Amino acid sequence: MNLQHKVLLSLFWFLPFLVNGQSTSKAESLRKVLQPYFVPVSHDYEELNTNKSKIDLGRRLFYDERLSNKKSVSCNSCHDLKKYGTNGSYFIGSKGKGNSSRDVPSLYNLGSLDMFNADGALTSLNDKLKQAFTDSNEMNVQNINQILKQLENDAKYQSLFKAAYPNHSKSISFEQVIEALEAFIIGLKTPAPIDSFLKGDDTALTSEQVEGGHVFNSKSCYSCHTGSNFGGQMIQKLGIAEKWPNQKDLGYYHVKKLSAYKMFFRVAPLRNVEKTAPYFHDGSSDDLGSAIKLMGRHERGMEISEADISKIIQFLNSLTGEIPTGYIINPFN
């Protein structure tokens, strides 16, 4: 065998291990690390078609400012679906700026979660939506029956409720309102490159993102940021290794009134995290790199280097999906 043939054979042996300029062995090893902890997200088109009538109703309810106490705030006012389900700010409530003490979380990809609010106090989306109507920092509705009467007197809503609930009488229940909103919100999904990667597509992530995934793993970030949403599955103490600077909000302690739960908060979901600043329950960081540095210091007791922070950001960018623009069209426009 001449030298040219040997070179060609060596190239053919090496080619299967290169995808997008990266070693497939690195991609495969990252996938093996992630798969036990993370579940891919995808659109369930059968469910969307089956629940279309409820979803259409829920979409209109989501954008309707008349459902709030002062008829000036809709669900979308805080959870702007064009901004990945948040509003790029916090302290936005039913009374205007300055009333809510916590960051506004995204509403995308919530279908698999059973823990809501920054303190993880609520265990179902249904309960969270009910709270949103009555909470003084959100819709601040004083009389639910007045809202229901308003819906009953609206011809468009009567038509939508009839389609969603064929056996529906003229009377509308609060449970129907919540159920329709829930159907619409569950359909808010943003499949991302990470999902294709987890399903076996080595080309879905760049070599830099794969490298960042290994750094993410090396810092044990996956131990808390698990599940389909890369977080949102558990409560954890904020400030395990070093005390968190802001001690005004004690998190889950306010729910249980037990000192052992001081500074416990729901682990933040990381899907679309590059698009959903500010970060943390108190909105204390506007920059993703700074947020990662704070996590390293306060949760892991380590100083993460700028080089590793950049790599982790590359990986987190693979969690960003496309906004479903057709699904979120405002029916009032």
Question: Which CATH superfamily is 45-186 part of?
Answer: Cytochrome c-like domain (1.10.760.10)
pLDDT at residue number 100: 61
What is the length of the chain?
Answer: 333
User: What's the CA gap between 233 and 116, in Å, rounded?
Assistant: 9
pLDDT at residue number 1: 52
What would the pLDDT profile of 236-265 be if each residue is shown by its tens digit? 999 999 999 999 999 999 999 999 999 999
Q: What is the pTM of this model?
A: 0.89
CB 102 within 8 A of CB 281: yes
pLDDT at residue number 3: 44
User: What's the CA gap between 5 and 86, in Å, rounded?
Assistant: 58
CB 35 within 8 A of CB 195: no
Helices 174-186, 155-164: axis angle to 10 degrees equals 70
> What are the Cα distances from residue 51, in Å, to 159, 163, 231, 325, 333?
16, 10, 27, 18, 23
In sequence order, the β-bridge partners of residue 116 are: 122
What percentage of the chain carries pLDDT values higher than 90? Answer: 80
pLDDT at residue number 9: 41
Closest by CA to 178, choosing from 203, 151, 205, is 151
Contacts of 37 (CB under 8 A, 6+ apart): 222, 226, 227
The 3-class secondary structure across 48-87, one letter per residue, is HHHCHHHHHHHHHHHHCHHHCCCCCCCHHHHCEHHHCCEC
In sequence order, the β-bridge partners of residue 90 are: 103
pLDDT at residue number 94: 39
Burial of 147 (0-12, 13-18, 19+ CB in 10 A): buried
In sequence order, the β-bridge partners of residue 235 are: 266
DSSP 252: T
Residue type, position 36, single letter: P
pLDDT at residue number 24: 67
CB 102 within 8 A of CB 282: yes
Q: Phi and psi dihedrals of 22, rounded to 5?
A: -125, 155
Report the SS3 class of residue 268. Answer: coil
What would the pLDDT profile of 188-229 be if each residue is shown by its tens digit? 999 999 999 999 999 999 999 999 999 999 999 989 999 999
List of the chain residues with pLDDT < 70 = 1-24, 89-100
CATH 1.10.760.10 in the chain, residue ranges: 21-39+192-317, 45-186
CATH architecture of 21-39+192-317: Orthogonal Bundle (1.10)
